Structure 1
Amino acid sequence: DLFLSLETTLEDCPEQLRSDDEIVLAALEQDGFNLEFTSDEVKNNRAFVMTAVQSGYLDGRECGLALEYASETLRADKEVVLAAVEADVAALQFASDALRSDEEIVMKAVLLWEEYCEESRGGYPYNVYDEEDFPVEYAHPSLKCNQVFLAKVLRNMEQPTEIRSLISLVVNTDFSNREKVLKRIYHNRYFLGYTPEALRADREAVLIAVQQRGGDLKYASEKLQGDKEVVLAALNNDWSALKYASEKLQGDKEVVLAVVKDCGGALQYASEELKGDK
């Protein structure tokens, strides 16, 4: 009761209290994000983690995202992940690769997202496409870039959202028609993220995307995220794209200077060595 009345976090508590199961449970019931400050043993305790992801935050939000701090074992536990996703669909990003490839879990998240869109707009169309909110964005590429699965997703989407239009476009794209595919990459934000692996590793296709929207560097193959010309093209219109560049390029003085001179905020994505370079 004392802990609850203080509205504090486990981070502020001495080690002795953080090792007390009763205190830890009270803290997790109050704020699931306290899981971050618990021991590895607690993070691997199913009951404690379930309490965390199903609890409410101080400002009224639910704590599904606390799944981030659960053990690798529990992030691969289907029941735990479903509980987290039911609290916050974005929790899907912290699930194991196997569960991000699970059609049932991803579809459940899509249906919940649809409900949220309708409720948050009082039944009116939710026209603003925030790609960070849409659960398929967090699905494993084996589902995210699978036209058959995306067709199932489309059948379960009723709200006339921008993301629905994008999914429809992807489902109805003939990826063997390179000219048409490149045009769609050029004209449609995030389209690249739903294309087959070969396209996301295609230098021409990725350059077309990042020259329009630097943030599309996020969807490029690891090799192209380490391609200096590709990264500079992305940074030319979006300084925050530096966070998607390879570690080597985040530590490349020429690359970092090219973006920091226009936006100092980009320095946060530079290597530690360059952050300390006066």
Structure 2
Amino acid sequence: MDALAKLDEEETEVESWDVRIERDWEAIEYAPVEGYRGSKEFMLRVCKASGLALEFAEEELFEDPDVVLVAVQNSFGDAFKWASKDLHRNRSFMLDCVAVSAEVLKKVSNKCRNDDDAKTKSYKGVFYCYRRGGKDGLPFKTGPCHPTDGAQCESCSRVLDDPDNCPLPQDREFITAALKRNWQALKHADKELQGEKDIVLAAVQAGGLALQYASDAMKADREVALAAVSQNWRVFKTLSKQLRSDAEIAIAACKQDWHVIKQVTKELRTHQELMDIAVRQGWEAFPLMVPEMRRKRSLAMEAVRQSWRAYEHTSADLRADQELALCAVR
């Protein structure tokens, strides 16, 4: 009888925790380790409710890519901060995380080990172990392995010979794959990669706003700028005056939204093709045109066909045009 009572009590306790956590996932903080915070199956369920629950899991689950990925997917990437450092080198796992939020790359360790098994850290894309000498006990001839007080030692100079040893923001192959999942990965890519044209082109073709994370040289590149505005017209206003005076770039942007004509240079305000495209995108572009273009009958007719209000902005000589007036009345 005592055994049955004890069994009932245990079942009631288990059910109580299940119900409590189902009602409020934060209750996992106080749940027992066994069967709850230490259970992969249970933590997967809780992390689907909120990835932030990962904080209260047993540390061994911080190394489980399945649990951590579910947590990342259900926390807008915030749960990545509890992922073990070993997972930072798991490229397939990291690609899945980047697809959720490129900000996870900001938290990735830039440390690794050289072939002397010394811990190294990347500084501006170059690795240093900060040692004064090697395993033989002798000091380095070039001074400490330090970015400002010495020079890179031979072991650190070979760090990137092993691609798997390379921190992800500096890994060209990884960043290329990451951009296919999330163009914002360019934001946390190494400075050198932000200046590589093929990398930047891949980013802006996926998301034009990625241009803001490119190097200055890439921002001034015509091909890159054209690809960026073709994907997102809002990039146009961030371009240099020289690029904003490029008719092809302006037209590519205007094909998406007429508001572009607000940012074009003075030279392009009389560009017939550009104004034709703008007014087809929206009659509201017509009042913003210079007087010379508002005297163009074809532009006025297109605007008036869309809205009679455009008639108010036509030139005096066009208001005498009977066909245009009839179009406005209709």
- TM superposition score category, shorter chain reference: 0.3 to 0.5
Alignment TM-score, normalising by the size of structure 1 = 0.43
Q: Which has the higher contact order (CA 8 A, sep 6+)?
A: 1
> Which structure has the larger Rg?
2
